[in-house]
Structure 1
């Protein structure tokens, strides 16, 4: 399995680490001792283990991505920076960008921009999938979905998609792309044409946020 790459090492002016996670490696462990991008990062930068986040085993992880997805992770290296960056997320000021290769149905327009706004509900066998629930959705779906609303900006050019979100729900971008008719190539959950063993063509390629140490807007891209 490919190794993680350090994009930004934590230091006095950068109280966080930015890590590139390869496909097939979990973002974080479910329990102590499991292999993950976060575990490997903490071996390189032990100070990451001193931060308490949402879960003890996740330290200061602020941005997770699916195991099958490659891309950037952000991990706070101090408790103060974790609090600052968590507040940014809640204010919608932590911006994440994704790119994907998508299936384009025959005859469908492939140059378009749109923003999907929905709530979500668990869906499918054992709730493995999620389903967007819109204002005009069924009463049954509305009963089963959460109250929080999530937004995804989508730009399609040919068979390429670039998406932008702030706060994210599980599989948000994947489900929204599938809903608007452009499922990601290799997505076994949301693309009926995907086949086992096919690579998921999806990457978290850019993050933007205010640096807790300097107060300046910064971005990282892969």
Structure 2
């Protein structure tokens, strides 16, 4: 898939509009992206290169090639990928637990970024790795990646407007009293040298919604939705209310049931910036978490009510 062209046919209502204004209002291109497109001669009207102060005439056919020349610093690495969705603008991958989303330093390897860059290289594409969402190393599930600045910008706008739906499943310690609710607590960095976050009045606003899926004597299975995307948000919020994610060594404690935090990103829903259509991506629960859930659901561990 390599459809890197956007197009628009001007109507009477667009008559005498500056091209730069049409690019923003009709094709939803940011000013920074338009600047890059201009510098690489990617903007045409009726097959001819034009300046963005060109005044549109009815019937003009505007074409934009969003395949910009870019230089990726990510080292390609042959690592198996579980691709669950791909089109001309996005690829969505089911990231396993134990894999970082992005290298922590220049030249780092073993991450999702290295694997995706290798995959794109095999298709003859030199694309920057632009994850829409980032998962912690030991959190599994869906990571959505934009193939261009246009795609990334389109979803970023939805993130700012809280119109993208990101859902997670978590197994947490202890049985929760309420079947649903939300946690609205600001999150701050503990200090500049540590990656740990805490709930603190000076932090950034953060809201997490939760719904109980199942209860056990000592655990609860939750579905969670994010309004904001702060670092470690779900883990910090759940620990704050006394229900840390099972197996979370940073915000909770070790568990004999699982050797990593039992947190999985199972759904992303967004409006496609090219087509305007809704895209819903769902994946099953990670195998190790599902194994724990099956164990907890056995009659021995879960007495019938």
**Which of 275, 282, 293 is 1:214 aligned to?**
275
Match of residue 180 from structure 2? 113
Written as runs of structure 1 = structure 2, the 5 A alignment for 1:1-222 is 3-11=80-88, 15-30=89-104, 31-46=106-121, 49-51=126-128, 59-104=129-174, 109=177, 111-123=178-190, 126-133=193-200, 142=201, 145-146=202-203, 148-156=204-212, 157-158=214-215, 159-192=220-253, 194=255, 198-222=259-283
Q: Where in structure 2 are there 5+ consecutive unaligned residues?
A: 1-78, 284-305
Larger Rg: 2
Give the number of aligned pairs: 197
Which structure exhibits the higher relative contact order, with contacts defined as CA atoms closer than 8 Å and separated by 6 or more residues? Answer: 1
User: TM-score scaled by structure 2?
Assistant: 0.59
Tell me how far 1:123 sits from its aligned partner.
2.4
Q: 1:87–1:180: structure 2 CA closer, same or farther, 3 Å change rule?
A: same
Q: Which of the pair is proportionally richer in strand?
A: 1
Between 28-37 and 184-193, the greater mean CA deviation after superposition: 28-37
**Is the 1:48–1:75 Cα contact (8 Å) retained in structure 2?**
no
Alignment partners' CA distance in 2, 1:181 and 1:165: 19
**After TM superposition, which residue ranges in structure 1, 4 or more long, deviate above 6 angstroms?**
none
Q: 1:94–1:48: structure 2 CA closer, same or farther, 3 Å change rule?
A: farther
CA RMSD of aligned residues (A): 2.4
Tell me how far 1:192 sits from its aligned partner.
3.4
